[in-house]
Amino acid sequence: MATALAKAAEDISPATTHAARIEHVSKSFGGPAGSQLVLDDITLDVAPGEFVTLLGASGCGKSTLLNLVAGLDKPSAGAITTDGRPALMFQEHALFPWLTAGKNIELALKLRGVPKAERRPRAEELLELVRLHGAYRKRVHELSGGMRQRVALARALAQDSRLLLMDEPFAALDAITRDVLHDELTRVWSETNVSVLFVTHNVREAVRLAQRVVLLSSRPGRVAHEWRVGIPHPRRIEDSAVAELSVEITEQLRGEIRRHGQH
């Protein structure tokens, strides 16, 4: 059964050359000590249907860049274009506790202008997509941490966006739950062909999920290196190929951290 999101993915025009285009973007923040350059001349494209992980040390500007792509802030220089309005998913689920799982998703549908009669069927369809069939009436306090993040994912998908921005959405979860949700996210991505820009500081997570890993240098954040990940799916976090590439990327990341420490 085709989901509403899968239908939206099918509507992506073949002429669309990118889901997100970041061109020579810089970002500075002012403070008592003067202006601080956080991002410096970032150029990066995300192709339609591509899964890209953005990796770097804490404080390198990953979340700042994601907020710029989401339109929550404006760059100090450069330009960002996206194929429609992106959907954003945070580390915290940010669900409304007074609403059921289904009503949280329906709220996103309502804001999109979906007619009232269509909202519940679509919400239940999205819950089924993230394997929470039957959870429509459950309150947030009745859900585990992993289930809450699944509802948050379904709510993000309800926005019918061609681009999903994810800011360390599994960082607060235990290792087993995170591992399960890696599988679920990969499945949802492959079924819907939505584009994903996923921020993490976990190297193995980046390699397990992505088609392409982009490493940012420490402040100011610049694109330091990129890797195309040719490891076939399904991938496991403990796979030897994942471990081998993770070691290579970790060495590059350590080098960036050392360089930052010398300035």
* 75: pLDDT strictly greater than 70: yes
- Indicate whether 130 belongs to any domain: no
Question: Is residue 259 predicted with pLDDT exceeding 60?
Answer: yes
**Contact assessment for residue 199 and residue 167, using Cβ atoms and an 8 Å cutoff:** yes
Strand intervals (E) in the chain? 20-29, 36-46, 51-55, 77-82, 87-89, 163-167, 195-200, 212-216, 223-228
Tokens 């890993």 sit at which residue? 213
Number of domains in the chain: 1
Q: Which domain holds residue 28?
A: 13-86+170-263
Higher-confidence position of 114 and 34: 114
Least confident stretch, 30-34, 109-113, 209-213, 256-260: 30-34
CATH number for the domain including 247?
Answer: 3.40.50.300
Distance CA 112, CA 76 (A): 30
Q: Is residue 113 part of a domain?
A: no
14 has a pLDDT exceeding 70: no
Whether 58 shows a pLDDT value over 90: the answer reads no
CB 186 within 8 A of CB 131: no
- Token digits for 228? 């195309």
Residues with Cβ within 8 Å of residue 236, at least 6 apart in sequence? 208, 242
Residues 76-120 have pLDDT tens digits of 999 999 999 999 998 777 899 999 999 999 999 999 999 999 999
pLDDT digits (tens, 9 = 90+) for 123-174: 999 999 999 999 999 999 999 999 999 999 999 999 989 999 999 999 888 9
pLDDT at residue number 218 = 86
Confirm whether 176 is domain-assigned: yes
- C-alpha gyration radius of the chain: 19
Q: State mean pLDDT over 68-82.
A: 95
pLDDT at 207: 96
Domain assignment present for 17: yes
Question: Is residue 91 one of the residues assigned to a domain?
Answer: no
Give the global pTM.
Answer: 0.88
Answer whether residue 165 is part of any domain: no
Confirm whether 151 is domain-assigned.
no
User: For residue 4, is pLDDT > 90?
Assistant: no
Q: Is residue 254 part of a domain?
A: yes
